[in-house]
Copies of this chain bind each other. A is one copy, B any other.
Amino acid sequence: MIPNLNLVPFVSVDHMMKLVLHIGVERFLSELAGYVEDDFRRWPAFDKTPRVASHSAEGVIELMPTSDGEVYGFKYVNGHPKNTREGRQTVTAFGVLSDVANGYPVLMSEMTILTALRTAATSAVAARYLAPQGADCMAIIGNGAQSEFQAMAFKALLGIRKLRLFDIDPQATQKCMKNLHGLGFEITACTSTEQAVEGAHIITTVTADKQCATILTDNMVGAGVHINAVGGDCPGKTELHHDILLRSDIFVEYPPQTRIEGEIQQLPADHPVIELWEVMTGQVSGRRDPRQITLFDSVGFAIEDFSALRYVRDQLRSVGLYQNLDMLADPDEPRDLFGMILRAQAAQTPPVAVGG
């Protein structure tokens, strides 16, 4: 018998926050980015499938599975833009890693915070290959829940210290400034997107409306800029004007998914795009020219969640911030599941009180 076959380590929201604080936000993002990059570099090794989505009038619930043949992972994630009206998160998530050899889960984790971290880490990894040399100023259009994570990841991985913030809601900008205060940034609050992108080498768009919006128009995007388009991530939700796409070299995670969900849903299905993993393995160039406009059309792919869960799993042994869940039936004899229930009954002497 292997002991404790019934137990699965679970990382709660509280433990995830403590884990992030224990490691430090910037180090966490840098190390997580390493895991993301490692997995992008072995991209062909993964089973890949577009997410399995269940759409409703209010939003979407998705399952995002993948496997490298040794480890299997999936994320459950919802997207409900109206949730904030009643104090709920637009996006919540949790995920599981399992051992492919026996199918047993080896980790369950909250992934609302972890998704925010992996999205930012992936953006920053992409920007290391795509942003102009010497970039030190980033505009962030949309100052909601993802904005600070983007700022921290670009500071940790690219040394970005100058931020130019804009949101149609000035309170969101104030919240973002307050949260980033004292963390080493030089921040300018702007009153328009036009003002925010002035002098920025990197433009991050991370707005949340579930509709096609034009956050960036063509005239706002000058030569040499890298656009990190994070907010357009489902059918009918885009942020960039069509003409920007035509002037950009477009980099994507997994084309079959991005063509449905990303900015490129505005383009013909055969419009050329470059797969990010091919840039990371050196098969294709990233930025070739200081005047080139590069666009990372980010929608989030299952492999990034897989990387994030792998990273968390690898921290648990030394850090210990988890609880064990009694999640898997573990009878003494595998064929004797019913007998396990009978033995639980026999053990109830005196009978267990089972009231509410």
| Closest CB in chain B relative to A296 CB, distance in Å | 21
- A355 CB within 8 Å of chain B: yes
Contact between B80 and A320, CB atoms less than 8 A apart:
no
Contacts of A319 in B (CB 8 A): 354-356
- A219 CB within 8 Å of chain B: no
| Interface set, chain A 295-349, CB cutoff 8 A to B | 317-321, 325-331, 333-342, 344-345, 348
Tally of this chain's copies? 2
25 examples of A-B residue contacts, CB within 8 angstroms: A2-B87, A5-B88, A17-B340, A21-B341, A47-B54, A52-B63, A56-B69, A61-B72, A61-B103, A80-B102, A84-B335, A88-B104, A88-B334, A89-B334, A90-B334, A92-B103, A112-B337, A113-B337, A144-B335, A149-B337, A175-B336, A175-B339, A179-B338, A317-B356, A321-B354
| Closest CB in chain B relative to A165 CB, distance in Å | 13
| Interface set, chain A 10-69, CB cutoff 8 A to B | 10, 12-14, 17-22, 25, 47, 49, 52, 54, 56, 58-61, 63, 65, 67, 69
Contact between B327 and A102, CB atoms less than 8 A apart:
no
Contacts of A344 in B (CB 8 A): 14, 17-18, 21
Q: How many residues of A contact B (CB 8 A)?
A: 95
Partner of A86, one of B2, B90, B178: B2
| Closest CB in chain B relative to A135 CB, distance in Å | 22
- A233 CB within 8 Å of chain B: no
- A168 CB within 8 Å of chain B: no
Contacts of A244 in B (CB 8 A): none
- A274 CB within 8 Å of chain B: no
Residue in chain B with minimal CB distance to A178:
B339
| Closest CB in chain B relative to A178 CB, distance in Å | 8
Contact between B318 and A356, CB atoms less than 8 A apart:
yes
| Interface set, chain A 156-174, CB cutoff 8 A to B | 172
- A94 CB within 8 Å of chain B: yes
| Closest CB in chain B relative to A314 CB, distance in Å | 13
Contact between B84 and A104, CB atoms less than 8 A apart:
no
Q: A-B pairs with the 6 shortest C-beta distances? A: A78-B103, A320-B356, A148-B338, A112-B329, A12-B326, A17-B344
- A185 CB within 8 Å of chain B: no
